[in-house]
Chains A and B, each alone.
Chain A
Amino acid sequence: MSIFIDKDTRLVVQGITGRDGGFHTKLMMEYGTNVVAGVTPGKGGQTFEGKVPVFNTVADAVEQAGANTSVIYVPAKFAADAILEAADAGIHLIVCITEGVPVLDMTRVYPYVQEKGARLLGPNCPGLITPGVCKVGIIPGMLAAPGPIGVVSRSGTLTYEVVYQLTRAGLGQTTCVGIGGDPIIGTNFIDCLEAFERDPATRAVVMIGEIGGTDEQSAATYVKQHMHKPVVGFIAGQTAPPGRRMGHAGAIISGSSGTAAEKMAAFEHAGIAVMKRPMDVVELIRARM
């Protein structure tokens, strides 16, 4: 079992003929993801790698190829409309990899997506992987292995580091989800925790947060009130100075709020085991399973 993506995922790639879109589509196909369609306006009728039909619109991809999930690699200035197009076409899960989407665009897009009943992951996220079954996005497939751990993270390469540590220690994963580092994102920590709590195959969860905002604190409250499975957490940015944006648009300490110390305290208060170093994940998970 897994969360959000599985063997029934039928993927459409928005921006399949672009440099990044094309590159990662090949990797997703090699991994076993069922890529049923691509979309690039004006290139409808072509095929990608001689196998995947390309359509002009997402609606065509849904109607003619039965796509139910989309992944977006289009440039930032087109990303907001690409998300809206996917939602309008009836896509259930929209994964937006694109980085640099203006946050005011997201304030308009997200309520619309919610009204359409679609789930959005990202923007500015690495996507997700259900090891051994399929991956949507850019997480390197060789890092992950099937197993009982759920992973949810705001980061990209830091997620890879933690998943790598888990896999090396023989602790495989049900699904690894990168929710993205922007101030306004679709799926958040709590959505993932809820799904992992419900997923019978997931036996423990790793949550990787960072400075900025209060999402980790809200997630900690959720864990305390609703979760029965053990959760292990990490917060990046203990040495980050206040008022400076640490790469991710959302990773900024404003005043005294959003600090790593505050978030780690919230984790501890909720009974979440706090990792001091990324490598600690193995020992903490083992002690709780």
Chain B
Amino acid sequence: MNLHEYQARELLKQAGIAVPPGAVASTPAEVKAIAQRLGGRVVVKAQVHAGGRGKAGGVKLADTPQQAEEIASKILGMTIKGLTVHKVLVAPAAEIASEAYVGVIVDRAQQSAVFMVSPAGGIDIEEVAAKTPEKIFRARVDARYGLLPHQALGLAFRLYADLAQARQAADILQKLYRAFVDAGASLAEINPLVKTPKGEIVALDAKIVVDDNELERRPNIEALRDETAEDPAEVVAREANLTYIKLDGTVGCCVNGAGLAMATMDLVKYYGGEPANFLDIGGSSNPDKVVSALKIITADKHVKAILFNIFGGITRCDDVANGIVTATRSFKVDVPIVIRLTGTNEKQAVDILAGVGMKALTDMDEAVKQAVAAAKGAA
């Protein structure tokens, strides 16, 4: 789960990191009031789960509260990478002497959390990593001991030669690790970490991505979820315990298992079609899940054909068949459905479908070909 910048800032503040004042607003009038309270020059920043906000025009400076209000009226409601901006963060415009990057991620190759810092901050760190890898410094964290003081100071010296500044940065790194662990994050970064002309080190922007598997035991973090910032269909899918990701094609896919779902999408493409979505109904086979899945897929008006690809293991084919029958009885499905079922209780499933005049295939390749043809025939 992605957190908004203003939420990530709050978590850093709770961990004891110096974060400039600022507040979140959802109307231009609120923005004006905050700017007035802060005084001086402010920055108005769109709060959406997308990178490149600045380039998209979602981050602007304002010299007066009136100007902040005007800017906010433009940023609020704009779309960045398909996401509508509902909230902005208003913060004092910082005085910047230099910008650095600090972040901690779960690194799968090293099987641990890894800190990355770079004196080349403020811009896309992936770009720095690709073009000037020598400007990135790393330290692996043994989760049993945490970020050790000498590791933190060692990294900090890569950013600042001055001892007082390095100590400030080392302290921030220790606290960032604490915030990372406390949030159950898979990524926590400050970009930029700014040195002011007075030599103070402050966190200007913050990003935290939380491991979805942590949310059950961290209700305080789950409470930060902003459903208005997510695709509505994906919200519905999550509530039905499905994993759904919308794509741009015409073949709606309903599959059990993530790997098989991806392979199914790939095969749709292989036979000249375009998948409309990734949808994994998961392991447990509950007919209700299939009904929800069909509702979500048919709500996408680009879908011209629906493909079920079910390999029964834990998932029972008869449950899926019952779900399909229930769904087609309770609402009208206007597009052709191609069904492939193999594995646990396959025979029962075929009988259930035959009872309502539906056919099931057993071969994945054949099913995908038919679904692609059906989608094209309807187009």
A residues bordering B, Cβ < 8 Å? 20, 76-77, 99-104, 106-108, 110-112, 126, 138-140, 143, 153-161, 164, 181, 183-184, 208, 210-211, 213-215, 218, 234, 236-241, 244-251, 254-256, 260, 276-279
- Contact indicator B344/A140 (Cβ below 8 Å): yes
List B236-264 residues whose CB lies under 8 Å from chain A. Answer: 243, 245, 247, 255-263
Q: Can you add 9 more A-B contacts, CB < 8 Å, to A236-B259, A244-B278? A: A103-B106, A104-B184, A107-B111, A138-B313, A140-B312, A160-B343, A164-B311, A240-B278, A247-B280
B126 within 8 A of A: yes
On chain B, the residues within 8 Å of A76 by CB distance are 213, 216
List B191-219 residues whose CB lies under 8 Å from chain A. Answer: 211-214, 216-217
On chain B, the residues within 8 Å of A249 by CB distance are 211-213
- Contact indicator B258/A239 (Cβ below 8 Å): no
Give the distance in Å from the alpha carbon of A112 to the alpha carbon of B247 in the complex: 41
Give the distance in Å from the alpha carbon of A236 to the alpha carbon of B144 in the complex: 34
B314 within 8 A of A: yes
List B270-303 residues whose CB lies under 8 Å from chain A. Answer: 270, 275, 278, 280, 283
Query: 5 A-B pairs, CB-CB below 8 angstroms?
Result: A154-B259, A183-B108, A215-B109, A239-B247, A278-B364
> How many of chain B's residues have a CB under 8 angstroms from any CB in A?
52
Give the distance in Å from the alpha carbon of A183 to the alpha carbon of B342 in the complex: 29
**Which among B143, B259, B265, B311 has the highest number of chain A CB atoms within 10 Å?**
B259
On chain A, the residues within 8 Å of B269 by CB distance are 238-239
B10 within 8 A of A: no
- Contact indicator A157/B211 (Cβ below 8 Å): no
B residues bordering A, Cβ < 8 Å? 106, 108-109, 111-113, 126, 130, 142-144, 181, 184, 186, 211-214, 216-217, 243, 245, 247, 255-263, 265-270, 275, 278, 280, 283, 311-315, 342-344, 364-365
From B259, B267, B275, B342, A155 is in contact (CB under 8 Å) with: B259
- Contact indicator B247/A241 (Cβ below 8 Å): yes
Q: Given A100-B213, A247-B280, A237–B262 Cβ distance below 8 Å?
A: yes
From B108, B144, B245, B312, A241 is in contact (CB under 8 Å) with: B245
On chain A, the residues within 8 Å of B181 by CB distance are 104
- Contact indicator B265/A239 (Cβ below 8 Å): yes
- Contact indicator A99/B283 (Cβ below 8 Å): yes
**Which among A143, A161, A208 has the highest number of chain B CB atoms within 10 Å?**
A161
Chain A residue at minimum C-beta to C-beta distance from B187? A254
Q: Shortest beta-carbon distance, B302 to chain A, in Å?
A: 15
- Contact indicator A157/B262 (Cβ below 8 Å): no
Give the distance in Å from the alpha carbon of A143 to the alpha carbon of B259 in the complex: 17
What 4 A-B pairs come out closest when comparing CB atoms? A155-B259, A247-B258, A157-B257, A158-B259
- Contact indicator B258/A155 (Cβ below 8 Å): yes
- Contact indicator A160/B313 (Cβ below 8 Å): yes
Q: Given A140-B344, A244-B245, A158–B257 Cβ distance below 8 Å?
A: yes
Give the distance in Å from the alpha carbon of A216 to the alpha carbon of B126 in the complex: 21
On chain A, the residues within 8 Å of B109 by CB distance are 213-215, 218
Q: Given A76-B216, A77-B216, A238-B266, A246–B261 Cβ distance below 8 Å?
A: yes
Q: Shortest beta-carbon distance, A124 to chain B, in Å?
A: 9
